[in-house]
Amino acid sequence: MNTITTPPNTAPGSVHSLDLGISGMTCASCVGRVERALRKVPGVQEASVNLATESARIAFVTQVGADAAAMEALLRRAVRNAGYEPRAAGQEDAPEDLSPWAGFLPVGIGLLLSAPLVLPMIGDLFGQHWMLPAWVQFVLATPVQFILGARFYKAGWHAAKALSGNMDLLVALGTSAGWGLSMWLWLTAPSDHPGHVPHLYFEASAVVVTLVLLGKWLEARAKRQTTAAIRALHALRPDVVHLLTKQGEVDVPVSEVLVGDQLVVRPGERIPVDGTVHEGHTQVDESMLTGEPLPVARDAGAALTGGSINGDGRIVMAVTAVGAETVLAQIIRLVEDAQAAKAPIQRLVDQVSAIFVPVVLVVALVTLAGWLAMGAGLEAALIHAVAVMVIACPCALGLATPAAIMAGTGVAAKHGILIKDVQALELAHKVDTVAFDKTGTLTVGQPRLTAFEVVPGLDDTAVMAAVAAVQSGSEHPLARAVVAAAGERQIHVATAQDVRAVPGRGTEGEVDGQSYLVGSLRWMQELGVGLGPLSDRAEALQREGATVSAVAQRVTEGLALRALMAFGDEPKPGAREALAALKARGIRTVMVSGDNRGAAEAMARRLGLDPAAGEVMAEVLPGDKAAKVAALQQGTDGKHHHVAMVGDGVNDAPALAAADVGMAMGNGTDVAMHAAGITLMRGDPMLVAAALDISHRTVMKIRQNLFWAFAYNVAGIPLAALGYLNPVVAGAAMALSSVSVMANALLLKRWRM
């Protein structure tokens, strides 16, 4: 069924989004006509049509007295009135679903009927003058022209009624002219030479129709390959699950599973939906979702992602998300959104396509008139005009950009890179600076407490218990490290009261009637808390690269220092190599950290960064990261730099949005929440270089495709107008242009990390 996204409030004026499949589009001109038809519907805010996916993305506002369903009916009618057939989004035409060779029957019939017409042309090459009787040529060519070619007449007529043009109109006019000229020559042949057969052009019209049909069939097969990534993701969802009930296991459709159900997953089966391990332990293969080749251990309480493959352990899982809320559904949605979106470069193609067909018709008329003016007969002049119309079909022009985008986003998804913003894909190849958040991006993100120094005379166990109580409700990595350290020392942690987080600084709360503040040294300095006897120790820990925090207690005199805490983190495996790979591409790398400068620079050196070269930004508050990105964009050399920001996608959301390209390090649990154009499904910094490389190669394919699409027309139209190309050769060249563009885009599928 169609995908309609609605907000909770569905009153008139609510904004809706509709995905609609469209059959019958053949070229870039069709795209423009459908978009214009949809935008004329009252309430439509935006309509974007993609030729390669044969779909439309429509944003509309419901009118008074209408609902989303009524609006969908109006949109479907608009598509049908424009001459095309609306269908459910993602639903392919039935013949293509059966086998790769389904849909070849019309092409095969056309080849069989056209072959006898072409044989005389081949005989001429060897000095043999084979000529079929005129009535035989008529019998062979007419079914091809009007039965197999009926689709061109139907779509061309709708285009003509709309005062527009498309590939179908050009093919219908061109081949009809060839067929009609043949009929005229046959019927007006001199009656005093009954055995003489004039040269007819039935073979030209029949072969052109057949070649165009062959080209569209090859193009359809290629389209299926570009959408292989989507079909592979859909195939990850099993149809039946083993529901655990009081009576035992019961097999039910996955569509009936509810949140809170318990499911049995046997060894080797796919995890059907999102959930957590309730009983048992196993290894899970998540490679199709994250690109991570090695299985990961999953014990009781661990998260499970639908679509991954269970290892050799039988487990019982508790369901936490079903349907559209699962990670797999969100991933599919992201990839579909990227493939259905229109890249900025496509706007130029749309503008050209809007005037392309009318210009071609004018050129064909000028060609006809020109040859007649030069003394050529109507026969020769008409054939040259037909060749112009046939070779100029803008099929390749409409496929050049979306075909490359579909292939690029598909291969990226296969390697754990989700591109949900096509503009980010197009801009990423320009990136010359990459800014990395430190914690969780370049480092493991699981710091541990390496030192706990209390003011002399205090009980370190009591102070740690108080600190752990204040930090127990926080999700900050340093807070979790304190709680973990208290657990390792088996310290009883009380419940804190009135806990308050101070963004970018720390946490305050009360334990047993005493108020404690836990946070950065900068915060302590702002509050006027001196380090006293622990100042030398704090400097030493910072020189060692540790992140140092302090604990203060409110007393009668104000605030008094109670302890210092030092935290250490480790670089992610492969982080140093990833930064080196970016530098090898000539890309500047910068680490952005909230740590003090000593700790940040110590970690930077371990990662191969040079603090002296400005590759470290330390003591940066979360709210200031966007400003740092803007500063990197402006640069110090007076030039604008294209900056990619890589972060965890939650705390770094403003910076990700401010960057030219935002890349969110996802862990597969909150993909849809990321405020970035690109999501890296596993926390591997090497994926940053891979994403930039895919962008570069995709944009290169787009440019190559557009070059060849334009080159075919720029070179072919003059050659046809000057009489160097006959309609048969023109038809073959036109079909070849579409197939070559699709084949060139499919080369992206060979990309490897």
The residue type at 735? A
The residue type at 265? V
Give Cβ neighbours of residue 661 (< 8 Å, ≥ 6 apart). 424, 427, 428, 431, 642, 643, 644, 645, 677, 678
CA distance linking residue 411 with residue 407, whole number of Å: 6
pLDDT at position 7 is 45
CA distance linking residue 183 with residue 534, whole number of Å: 103
| C-alpha 376 chain-centroid distance | 53
Cβ contact 111:105 at 8 Å: no
Residues labelled as active-site residues: 437
Token pair of 33, please? Answer: 């006509």
Q: What is the DSSP-derived secondary structure letter of residue 254?
A: G
pLDDT at position 217 is 80
Q: Computed over its alpha carbons, how large is the radius of gyration of the chain? A: 34
Token pair of 50, please? Answer: 């993609």
Cβ contact 738:398 at 8 Å: no
CA dihedral sign, ordered 243, 247, 251, 253:
negative
Token pair of 25, please? Answer: 């589009």
pLDDT at position 8 is 41
| C-alpha 522 chain-centroid distance | 42
Token pair of 575, please? Answer: 């982080």
Cβ contact 432:586 at 8 Å: yes
H/E segment holding residue 743: helix 727-746
CA distance linking residue 735 with residue 33, whole number of Å: 22
Q: Helix (H, G, I), strand (E, B), or coil: what is residue 677?
A: coil
- For residue 722, how many C-alpha atoms fall within 13 Å in the half-sphere facing its CB? 6
CA dihedral sign, ordered 332, 36, 226, 85:
positive
Paired with 514 in beta bridges are 511
CA distance linking residue 227 with residue 406, whole number of Å: 7
- β-pair type (262-265, 274-279): unpaired
pLDDT at position 673 is 44
H/E segment holding residue 418: strand 417-419
CA distance linking residue 68 with residue 11, whole number of Å: 10
- β-pair type (15-23, 85-88): antiparallel
C-alpha distances out from residue 161 to 33, 34, 172, Å: 11, 14, 14
Q: Please, what is the angle between helix 727-746 and helix 395-414, to 10°?
A: 20
CA distance linking residue 608 with residue 17, whole number of Å: 46
Cβ contact 499:470 at 8 Å: yes
C-alpha distances out from residue 200 to 110, 131, 207, 304, Å: 18, 10, 13, 69
Cβ contact 276:317 at 8 Å: yes
pTM exceeds 0.75:
no
Give Cβ neighbours of residue 639 (< 8 Å, ≥ 6 apart). none
Give Cβ neighbours of residue 741 (< 8 Å, ≥ 6 apart). 396, 399, 400, 403, 705, 708, 709
pLDDT at position 669 is 38
CA distance linking residue 288 with residue 232, whole number of Å: 9
- In the chain (753 residues long), the average pLDDT of successive 10-residue segments reads 47 72 80 88 87 83 72 90 80 46 82 84 64 87 92 83 74 83 80 60 80 75 66 80 90 92 92 92 79 77 89 91 84 70 66 75 91 88 84 72 83 84 82 89 83 91 93 83 91 88 86 91 90 89 83 90 88 91 93 83 89 88 84 84 82 79 68 64 88 91 86 85 82 75 86 82
